[in-house]
């Protein structure tokens, strides 16, 4: 793993530097330095492992959102997906995301990852199933 790969993977997950820093339990300044190739970490391995865990989790979340929405759509004709507008509501409604059981350097699941997964699920529903899903924030 190197600086540009880290940046590409972070952006593909829909994460800001701040969100990734919180997720890895490091300072945002470290993320910036690592992505610009200044003062790289001693070991890229733990960051690679943490990003892989997040990527796998995101894919599982997308698949689950698609399946759940298709099930509800089939039963009622509705296609609504909920996500969270901010970290506070995300951790309030899903407190287990603040301390996930993913291990390997993942301190928390960021709300941005959930929103990114929701957007991808909506895209898959539209492209693969012809279903127009509406996305709304949890009140």
pLDDT, tens only, 75-100 = 898 899 999 999 999 989 988 888 77
* Structure tokens belonging to residue 125: 């529903």
Flag whether the pTM goes above 0.85: yes
For residue 139, what pLDDT band results from cuts at 50, 70 and 90? Answer: confident
- Coil vs helix vs strand at 83: strand
- Coil vs helix vs strand at 20: helix
- Burial code (b: 16+ CB inside 10 Å, e: under 16) for 96-118 equals ebeebebeebbbbbbbbbbbbbb
Query: Which fold does the domain 3-137 belong to in CATH?
Result: Putative cytoplasmic protein (1.10.3100)
* Structure tokens belonging to residue 5: 């790969």
Kindly list the domain boundaries of the chain, sorted by start residue: 3-137
pLDDT of residue 103: 63
On whether the CB atoms of residues 122 and 135 are closer than 8 A, the answer is: yes
Q: How much is the CA Rg of the chain, to the nearest whole Å?
A: 16
């Amino acid at each position: 793993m190197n600086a540009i790969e880290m940046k590409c993977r972070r952006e593909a997950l829909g994460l800001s530097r701040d969100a990734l820093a919180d997720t890895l339990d490091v300072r945002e300044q470290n993320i910036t330095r690592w992505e610009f190739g200044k003062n790289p970490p001693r070991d890229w391995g733990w960051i690679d492992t943490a990003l892989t865990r997040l990527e796998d989790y995101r894919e599982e979340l997308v698949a689950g959102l698609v399946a759940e929405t298709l099930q509800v759509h089939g039963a009622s004709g509705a296609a609504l997906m909920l996500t969270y507008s901010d970290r506070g509501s995300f951790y309030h409604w899903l407190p287990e995301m603040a301390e996930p059981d993913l291990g390997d350097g993942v301190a928390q699941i960021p709300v941005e990852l959930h929103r990114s997964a929701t957007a991808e699920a909506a895209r898959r529903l539209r492209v693969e199933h012809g279903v127009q899903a509406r996305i709304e924030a949890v009140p």
